[in-house]
Amino acid sequence: MILADKIIALRRKNGWSQEELAEKMLVSRQAVSKWEGAQTVPDLEKILVLSRLFGVTTDYLLKDELEEEEFAEEQDRSPLKKVSLSLANEFLEWRRRAAGRIAAGVFLCVAAVIFLLLLGAATEAPRHPLPEGFAAGIGLSVLLILVAAAVVIFVSCGFKNAPFAFLDKEPFEAEYGVEGMVKERQKAYRGTYAKTNIVAVALCVLSPIPLFAGAAAENALLTAVLLAVTLLLAGVGASLFVFAGVRFASMQKLLQEGDYARRSRRKNRVRETVAHIYWPCATALYLGWSFLTNDWEITWVVWPVAGVLFAAVLCLCNLFADRDAER
């Protein structure tokens, strides 16, 4: 009996449809169909998941000469990792604390650029201008300190989130009572989540107003100050998005809904990987262009352009992720 026949037999034995098996495996139904049609072979990682799901050994799945089912040891028979009520409460409490820290880190990154921008403008003040070398030195020092502080926050949160990393990487099942508890918390938090996002959207939409006002000003220092206000408003808006989103996402993650539904997880991992590479590159481009040309009043255009291109990049990533899932 070949692997394709074994998958079909085990799936039917458990009473699962192709769609149900695909959801448990975090792949598309087409991928399962190709496995069962012997058109493609699951990779090693998916073989291990199949072994856990069906409670059989990998030898049984991979060796054609084994016709009789070989069951895994009892401790390995549980197909999915369980999330207890205490673990769910611990995770939600940690993400509640982490939301403020991550939002603060995001704001520090924006504040670093604002401070550097103001010091650069101060070198062109009509009265008592700052020396360019002094302004650049102080500005870069503050930028590195604030960015370093933000990185420490992000890395620290990453380490402390390690015990819950399996929620992103593996299929899991919630024990009795977890879903009800999380839904109650989600219901209680939904109003705050909506209000916070409304305020964040308003700040981001209104943030260009000072920039437009500064475009008509002939005073370079005033223009820089108004640009700094624009960045400040946008930074506060972005921080509010993060603050509300981290907590709400933790509830969605436990409920496996929205962006954290089993079929969406592969796309989420691709998007996160791309974002971790894309935005540091955009920041490096912005800072490099700004320092080389000293045209701070122009180089800000990097951010709206990067935002538009990022959406296009994510669309391409989702397309490739869908194709890969069908294999």
DSSP per-residue codes, 67-97: -S--BPPGGG---SEEE-HHHHHHHHHHHHH
CA angle in degrees (0–180, nearest 5) for 93-97-100: 145
Whether the pLDDT of residue 213 is over 80: the answer is: no
What is the predicted pLDDT for the residue at 189? 94
Residue 137 pLDDT class (50, 70, 90 cuts): confident
Q: Which of 28, 10, 8, 9 is nearest to 19 (CA)?
A: 28
| Mean pLDDT estimate for the chain | 80
Cβ atoms 24, 262 nearer than 8 A: yes
Which range of 37-46, 189-198, 259-268 scores highest in mean pLDDT? It is 189-198
* Position 9, amino acid: A
* Measured distance CA(297)–CA(290) in Å, rounded: 9
Q: Which of 157, 146, 169, 178 is nearest to 96 (CA)?
A: 157
* Measured distance CA(53)–CA(194) in Å, rounded: 38
* Measured distance CA(137)–CA(110) in Å, rounded: 18
Cβ atoms 314, 274 nearer than 8 A: yes
- pLDDT tens-place string over residues 270-280: 666 777 687 77
Percent of the chain with pLDDT over 70: 81
What is the predicted pLDDT for the residue at 167? 84
| Prediction pTM value | 0.62
3-76: CATH homologous superfamily?
lambda repressor-like DNA-binding domains (1.10.260.40)
Cβ atoms 227, 214 nearer than 8 A: yes
* Measured distance CA(308)–CA(321) in Å, rounded: 20
Numbered ranges of CATH 1.10.260.40 in the chain: 3-76
Mean pLDDT (whole number) for 108-113: 84
Structure tokens of 225? Answer: 């100050």
In this structure, the strands spanning 81-83 and 172-174 are parallel
- pLDDT tens-place string over residues 50-81: 888 888 888 888 876 655 555 554 444 445 67
Structure tokens of 285? Answer: 């481009």
How many CA atoms does the CB half-sphere of 132 hold within 13 Å?
3
